[in-house]
Amino acid sequence: MVGFLFAGQGSQYVGMGKDLYENFPQSRAIFDKAQGLLDFDLKKICFEGSEDQLKVTRVSQPAIVTVTIAAFEAFKSKNKITPAYMAGLSLGEYSALIASGALDFEDGICLIKRRGELMDAAAKKYPGKMAAVLELEVDMLEDICTESGAEIANLNCPGQVVISGSGIAINKAIPLCNEAGAKRVIPLEVSGAFHSSLMSEASAGLKEALDKTPINENFVPVVSNYTALPQDKPDQIRENLVKQVCSSVKWEDSMRFILSKGVTQFYEFGPGKVLKGLMRKINPAVQVTNIEKSADIP
């Protein structure tokens, strides 16, 4: 059995998608549709912009989803594989919902554009930080979060948990993690405290946008970051996406659920190889093939 995975924020790089755009009419059509719906020059920024331009949340979110779906459409033009499950890391959940048929691409891009704007605004109003904590027991980290005021943002894989919160909270949590025996604590280059309560206003704004967005009965089950379980009803999808913005991403649990159903092979769509790396720590026996350039299309 096969599963499809979709890249999250932070995997962007200058030049992403250019090769697909030049070699696949299906990918070109995706870029052209997105370009017409956004208020910035998507193709110019993706193909020849600066890293700083691509880091901006309101730019990087629609850019990553566009590149991801461009890769997916190129793959689909040459392969007739139907996955048992789909999942995407945080932002990637939107790509998964588009690929599954739950969201139309145009509606999805408009929704992601709004999500990026809301998260940017929340990050400016409530500044925060994030840090990756390596090789520290989750129970111990939960106690540190209670003491410091930080929150667990991502449960990515064994030995890798991301914390989020105000600058004061993260600055207090980092030495506590080191004292508790963490192998390493890495501050992340992000513009805000994503997947924490500091994103509550973004969550409320996203609910308004989601209430107006048509969601279809998706063709392939998409595993929710919020519940780590499949979601297939429009109202359920809306509710999970609203909660996802300010709640922990249960990626390891999501992968373990899919693996428990007999999936042994994955394709990862979009820029970077982050999800392949996480799977290597969750179950190194599982094969993950990256699809992000024309040379990757089997």
Tell me the domain boundaries of the chain.
2-124+196-296, 128-187
Task: Tell me whether domains 2-124+196-296 and 128-187 share a fold.
Answer: no
Out of 164, 195, 224, 254, the active site residue is: 195
Give the global pTM.
0.95
- The verdict on whether 90 is a catalytic residue reads yes
CA distance linking residue 97 with residue 1, whole number of Å: 19
Is residue 71 within 8 A of residue 270, CB to CB? The reply is yes
Report the pLDDT value the prediction gives residue 55, as an integer from 0 to 100: 84
pLDDT of residue 243: 96
What is the C-alpha to C-alpha distance for residues 254 and 236, in angstroms, rounded to an integer? 16
Whether 200 is catalytic is no
- pLDDT, residue 62, reads 95
CATH of 2-124+196-296, one of 3.40.366.10, 3.40.1710.10, 3.60.20.10, 3.90.1640.10: 3.40.366.10
Contacts of residue 253, defined as CB under 8 A and 6 or more positions apart, other chains included, come to 155, 228
Sign of CA dihedral 59, 41, 105, 263: negative
Q: Which pLDDT tens digits describe the chain residue by residue (298 residues)?
A: 999 999 998 888 999 999 999 999 999 999 999 999 998 999 999 999 888 888 888 899 999 999 999 999 999 999 999 999 999 999 999 999 999 999 999 999 999 999 999 999 999 999 999 999 999 999 999 999 999 999 999 999 999 999 999 999 999 999 999 999 999 999 988 889 999 999 999 999 999 999 999 999 878 999 999 999 999 899 999 999 999 999 999 999 999 999 999 999 999 999 999 999 999 999 999 999 999 999 999 8
Give pLDDT, residue 298.
Answer: 85
Q: Which of 27, 90, 164, 224 is catalytic?
A: 90
Whether the Cβ atoms of residue 208 and residue 214 lie closer than 8 Å to each other: no
Considering only the top CATH level, what class is 128-187?
Answer: alpha beta
